[in-house]
Amino acid sequence: MELLIIRHGKAEQAGVVPGGDAARPLTDHGTHQFRKVAKWIAKHDAGPELILHSPLVRTTQTAQILQDVTELNDEACYAQPWLGFGLSLDSLISFVRSTAFERIAIVAHMPDVARCTSDLIGGGAITFKPGNAACIQFDSLIGIGQGSLKWHLSAPLF
Query: What pLDDT shows up at residue 156?
Result: 60
- Rounded distance between C-alpha atoms, residue 141 and residue 1, angstroms: 8
Check whether 157 has a pLDDT greater than 60: no
Give the pLDDT band of residue 155 (cuts 50, 70, 90): low
| Tens-place pLDDT, residues 14-58 | 887 888 888 999 999 999 999 999 999 999 999 999 999 999 999
DSSP states of 77-134: EEE-GGGSTT--HHHHHHHHHT---SEEEEEE-TTHHHHHHHHHHTS------TT-EE
| Tens-place pLDDT, residues 59-103 | 999 999 999 999 999 999 999 999 998 999 999 999 999 999 999
Closest Cα to residue 71, out of 32, 96, 38?
Answer: 38
Q: How many C-beta atoms surround the C-beta of residue 13 within 10 A?
A: 9
| Tens-place pLDDT, residues 91-127 | 999 999 999 999 999 999 999 999 999 999 999 999 9
Q: How many CA atoms lie within 13 A of 140 on its CB side?
A: 4
pTM for this prediction: 0.95
Q: Helix 28-43 vs helix 57-70: angle between axes, to the nearest 10 degrees?
A: 40
Q: How many C-beta atoms surround the C-beta of residue 103 within 10 A?
A: 16
- Rounded distance between C-alpha atoms, residue 65 and residue 77, angstroms: 11
Query: Which domains are delineated in the chain?
Result: 2-157 (3.40.50.1240)
| Tens-place pLDDT, residues 134-145 | 999 999 899 999
